[in-house]
Structure 1
Amino acid sequence: MSEATKVPVTSTAPQPRPRGVGDAIRGWWGGLSRPAQWAVGVPAVIVLGLIALFPPPGIDTPGTSFGGVMAQFAMYALIAIGLNVVVGQTGLLDLGYVGFYAVGAYTVGILTSPNSPFHSNSGVFDSKWAWLVCVPLAILATAASGLILGTPTLRLRGDYLAIVTLGFGEIVRLLADNLGGVTNGSLGLAGIAYPHLGESKTHTGGYFSSGNLGDRNSGNLLDRANSGVWWFWIGMLLVVVVLILVGNLERSRVGRAWVAIREDEDAAEIMGVPTFKFKLWAFTIGAAVGGLSGALYAGQVQFINPTGFNVINSMLFLCAVVLGGQGNKLGVIVGAFLIVYLPNRFMSVNVGGQSLGDFKYLFFGLTLVVVMIFRPQGLFPARQKLLTYSRQVYRAVRRPGQATEATGAGA
């Protein structure tokens, strides 16, 4: 074929739609290999830990301790990851997730608080490491509660399941308020155990004690960090461990079943997926992660009472998942950060004699309305792709238009 008779070949590949910042970050991260993700993720976690210790002036929280805010963020991040398994991955609307959070916290409180009738003045639950012993027990207790709740209720769908889970959260709170012989009722449980690490003359209660205010003038990072920073560090360690476990589940047969149930439960059932079993798996795993976050909360504040586990907190947890992006583990962590950080950041801003932080429920409600209108998939939506051999397939078909252009140019 001569040069004059060549016909230019135009690619018929669809042009990519304009992408936002969230889509660009998600696409960049998804294109990295697994070792590259680790090479980026590990330094990022280290930098995040140092930011909690040396907060830049622009992001510091003048009205409260920045370390305490970051500790709360780590706790909410765990909650968001666990709730994302139930809501984002499996598509089960859970409005009472705060109930699992409360079960985990009260498990630690009942076993270690001097106000509890079940507390022993001797033995492992009165030792310096009682909190560490109680953490796996809290996980087991909440996993069992998720199994007990899910077995009769997960045959329900949609609004009916949401009402049942909402009732579960309220039942747990009311039980904690009325079973005074077990939970000390509305007076709560004080003196809850925490890790007694680093006890010395300068840190009589250890690094994790609420009395550790840190020394900003110290060159030693361990002495400079206050209790909030220490709880943030241990919280981020738990977040990384849970992310690895949940990520492996998502890439397994269990994760593929969750996605199938979320997209169309009837079709998944017809194709042979035992939907009830995998929904129960998701409910139990999500409950266990919620119990872990509750144990973290109980050790950090060292005092719990029923008012800390109301339905409003359950709505905030769900807001973090919806705002960040249902089904995206890193997205819901960003949502948890926004839920915790923004009210504390604006707590010191007064308008008409009223702190803006007091209007957080109003602002989050308006934000959800705007997000549902303009970006219902959240700030960082989950990208659906093949879970088995996903990276090889994705790279092979990543730019189909380029192959067509190359073929046309060589014609």
Structure 2
Amino acid sequence: MSAAPQSRIQSALKDAGLAALVTLALACIMVGMKTETVPGGLALKTEWPLVATMVAVVFAGRLLMGLFIWQGNNAIADATKSLMPKTDTLTKIGTLIGPALLVFAVTLPFYGNRYAIDLGILVLTYIMLGWGLNIVVGLAGLLDLGYVAFYAVGAYSYALLAQYFDLSFWICLPLAGILAAFWGIILGFPVLRLRGDYLAIVTLAFGEIIRVVLLNWYEFTGGPDGISRIPRPSFFGLEFTRKNGFADFFGLDYSSLHRVIFLFYLILALALLTNFITMRLRRLPIGRAWEALREDEIACRSLGINTTNTKLTAFSLGAMFGGFAGAFFATRQGFISPESFTFIESAIILAIVVLGGLGSQLGVVIASIFMIGGFEVFRELEELRMLVFGLLMVVIMVWKPRGLVSSRQPSVYLKEKKAVSGDLVAEGEG
């Protein structure tokens, strides 16, 4: 064995040992020793076999990662690369997966139970949020860690407008989007000159400011008690009640599932509207300006593009879709509080966008299904659910560092230059 590979193996073993040591230190405190209530007080419960398993898994995983990075041209790397479809193949697969997922979503209420429909509503809500944040992060390249603030503004806008002015959902929905877009512009102005980590810190602070205001402005927002009895949407004026409602009007037997199915199709329509508007905007000059801003802001300015307006439109439009989703969340839950809009929500939405692939609409859908559905699949693991789920996310990001759907078709294609015939050249000379 030559000196270079041997040193690389030693380095991988060292990194794996260090990672295992850190895991041991954290796991001993967080997993290994727990207190449980027993008659007469508290007792200490230990989980040392579980700690040993976690340390072994981290050591083996880190060692394999180190060796995998070193052996970039070996059979394992080649086999992994062979599993990754090419760009043309991904495009063909996307043209089939997209319609298939749409058909599945439209037909789900016909054969799914209450649990499946509720889970579908949750997944569609995060898909809509992911598409909204994809405008800011994926298209414009502006890292936003406080996107949940616009989600909260939309929810509270609908709840407060319905409570104080007795307005219907269909009137409050566009107003919630407009108010969220307004706050997106307010956020956009202070961060016009910021990029990278500084932009992330400011957006994170903005999200926390909104949450703290909602938590402490008790007279207006209800503070930690939240807002309850939020009105439900109606179907063209028909309420989902037992008497003189939706069921009686159409001659159906009353079922509480009718309202759930209506909410499912409502969020599906809102999500499809978000996707349609986003795809149309990408083909317009503003969409091309977003992509130019993402690639190189200095070059974008040199082309005469107004970067101020470009950033503000990205923030405002992304915030508007977040406000729409927030209004739907409020009417679906019937109760909202600041605890529903913590930083973890922004992290989940950003993870959906990054995991799916920056700028990829289909990738957001797949990542939302994977992440939100993954929480339910691993629900039986209880406390280990987040650990297993996080481990799977790490594996995916190592395997596909640019996201599940990393390839992205350009918004505009340059046409081929047509050859000028000799006759035309002769006429021009003459």
* TM over 0.5, shorter chain: yes
Letter of the 2:224 partner, please give it.
S
User: What is the deviation of 1:222?
Assistant: 9.7
Find the residue that maps to 1:65 and give its secondary structure. Answer: helix
Structure 1 residue 372: Cα displacement = 3.1
Q: How does 1:36-185 map to 2 (within 5 A)?
A: 44-55=101-112, 65-113=115-163, 119-120=164-165, 124-125=166-167, 130-185=168-223
Question: Are the equivalent residues in 1 in contact too, given 2:153–2:179 (CA < 8 A)?
Answer: yes
Q: Spell out, residue by residue over 1:353-396, the C-alpha distance to the aligned partner (whole angstroms, 9 max, x if none).
A: xx2xx5454344333433332211111124243x2357x87xxx
Structure 2: which amino acid aligns with 1:362? L
Shift of 1:329: 1.0
Q: Deviations over 1:329-372 (max 9, x none)?
A: 1211221222211112332x34xxxx2xx545434433343333
Q: Which runs of structure 2 are paired with 1:5-404 in the superposition (5 Å)? A: 18=82, 20=84, 26-28=90-92, 44-55=101-112, 65-113=115-163, 119-120=164-165, 124-125=166-167, 130-197=168-235, 198-199=238-239, 202=242, 225-347=257-379, 349-350=380-381, 355=382, 358-385=383-410, 387-389=411-413
Structure 2, unaligned stretches of length 5 or more?
1-80, 417-430
C-alpha distance in 2, partners of 1:237/1:200? 19
Conserved 8 A contact 1:53-1:225: no
Gap regions ≥5 residues in structure 1: 1-16, 114-118, 208-218, 394-411
- What's the TM-score once normalised by structure 1's chain length? 0.73
What is the count of residue pairs matched by the alignment?
332
Structure 1 residues 181 and 155: alpha-carbon distance in aligned structure 2, compared to 1, 3 A threshold: same
Asked if structure 2 preserves the Cα contact closer than 8 Å seen for 1:155 and 1:276, the reply is: no
The structure whose residues are more often helix, as a share, is 2
Q: Percent identity?
A: 36
Q: Taking structure 1 as reference, are residues 222 and 149 closer, same or farther at Cα in structure 2, changes over 3 Å only?
A: farther
Q: Which residue identity is paired with 1:344? A: E
Question: C-alpha displacement at 1:203, in angstroms?
Answer: 6.8
RCO comparison, higher one (Cα < 8 Å, 6+)? 1
Q: Paired residue for 1:215?
A: none
* Higher mean C-alpha deviation, range 259-268 or range 70-79: 259-268
Mark the CA change 1:206 to 1:367 in structure 2 (over 3 Å): closer, same or farther.
farther
CA contact (8 A) 2:358 2:403 kept: yes
The TM-score with structure 2 as length reference comes to: 0.70
1:139 Cα deviation after fit: 0.4
- Judged with a 3 Å threshold, the aligned counterparts in structure 2 of structure 1 residues 226 and 201 are, in CA distance, closer, same or farther, namely closer
d(CA) in 2 for partners of 1:244, 1:252? 13
Aligned CA-pair RMSD: 3.0
Letter in 2 for 1:367: L
